[in-house]
Amino acid sequence: MATAKKAPAKAAPAAKTVAVEKAAAPAKKRAPNAAFMKALTPSAALAAVVGAAPLPRTEIISKLWVYIKANNLQDASDKRMINADAKLKEVFGKPQVSMFEMAGLIGKHVK
């Protein structure tokens, strides 16, 4: 029994021109999301770490990282984990959190 081989399919020339047009389009700069830039007031527990002035969410996270690094609160064996001191324990609600859940826990402490 002989099997018939199919000829390889040829790409349509229109598909190539579409790809070239997309590559030739100028790259657009991303506009910052207004929700991230809105100034939020931290709760009393969070204000003890980052200050009481209203700050955008991005600045709050940045100031938290400055505090974490200054007080050497990253776990030595796993840098993704943050060991909470007395101030951060009030904010996080537990003695150790991962850096990925930190932003979610902060959401409860800003208005």
Answer yes or no: is 104 within a domain. yes
- Run of H or E residues at 37: helix 34-37
Domain membership flag for residue 31: no
pTM of the complete model beyond 0.85: no
Task: Give tens-digit pLDDT for 23-71.
Answer: 566 677 877 777 778 999 999 999 999 999 999 999 999 999 999 999 9
Residue 29 falls within a domain, yes or no?
no
More confident call, 33 vs 88 = 88
3-state helix, strand, coil in the chain (%, to 5): 50, 10, 40
- In this prediction, residue 2 carries a pLDDT of 67
Could you tell me if residue 10 is inside a domain?
Answer: no
CA distance 39 to 77: 35
C-beta of residue 110 within 8 angstroms of C-beta of residue 40: yes
Average pLDDT, the chain: 85
Structural domain of residue 61, as residue ranges? 36-109
Residue 86 lies in a domain: yes
Number of domains in the chain: 1
Q: Is residue 101 part of a domain?
A: yes
Q: What is d(CA 71, CA 62) in angstroms, rounded to the nearest whole number?
A: 14
- Could you tell me the CATH number of the domain that includes residue 89? 1.10.245.10
The verdict on residue 88 lying in a domain is yes
Give a yes or no: residue 9 inside a domain: no
